[in-house]
Amino acid sequence: MIQYSLVCENEHKFDAWFRNASAYDEQKVKGIVTCPICTSGDVHKALMAPALSRAKSDKVVVSTGHPQQAELRTAMKALRDKVTSEADYVGDKFASEARKIHDNESEARGIYGEATQDEVSGLVEDGIDFMPLPNLPEDHN
């Protein structure tokens, strides 16, 4: 069973249960899915509140989880801790410093810091190796 938050053409919000996602589609096509308040058959799924996102356009990748979630999370945290404890923090100079290291203009070493989306795109275009550090949910305020 799967629960959907639905909204009708008159903005009535209600929850409904379906056997599965295709059951919802089938029933909607047949006009069986109706608003319990005004009986309108013109209903659609309500958008979830973008609570995970800082701005409407700022999308985040989310999943429903994995059986090994806790394990993987620990591993990701260990990886991040290892990187951040052994690499030099260069702040917002990451892109320029990574480029200097790549061009042998700076000492070869591990660094980490922040980069803008444009800088990240530039590094990818120039074939400079880097990896995003995992952002763990516990870091969020």
In a 3-state reduction of DSSP, which class is residue 4? Answer: strand
Interaction of residue 43 with Zn ion, rule CB under 5 A: no
Q: Which of 6, 33, 35, 115 binds Zn ion (CB under 5 A)?
A: 35
Contact between 44 and Zn ion per CB under 5 A: no
CB atoms near residue 42 (< 10 Å): 14
Taking phi over 0 as left and psi of -120 to 50 as alpha, with beta for the rest, 74 belongs to: alpha
Q: Using the rule CB under 5 A, which residue among 2, 21, 32, 37 binds Zn ion? A: 37
How far is 87 from 115, CA to CA, in rounded Å? 16
Q: How far is the CB of 35 from Zn ion (least distance, A)?
A: 3
Q: Two tokens at 74?
A: 């620990």
Does 12 participate in binding Zn ion (rule CB under 5 A)? yes
Task: Name which of 35 and 111 has its Cβ closer to Zn ion.
Answer: 35
Find the shortest distance in angstroms from Cβ 8 to Zn ion: 3
Q: Show the tokens assigned to 82.
A: 């290892």
- 10 is an interface residue for Zn ion by CB under 5 A: yes
**15/88 with CB nearer Zn ion:** 15
Distance CA(28)–CA(52), nearest Å, equals 29
Q: Which residues make up the interface to Zn ion (CB under 5 A)? A: 8, 10, 12, 35, 37-38, 40
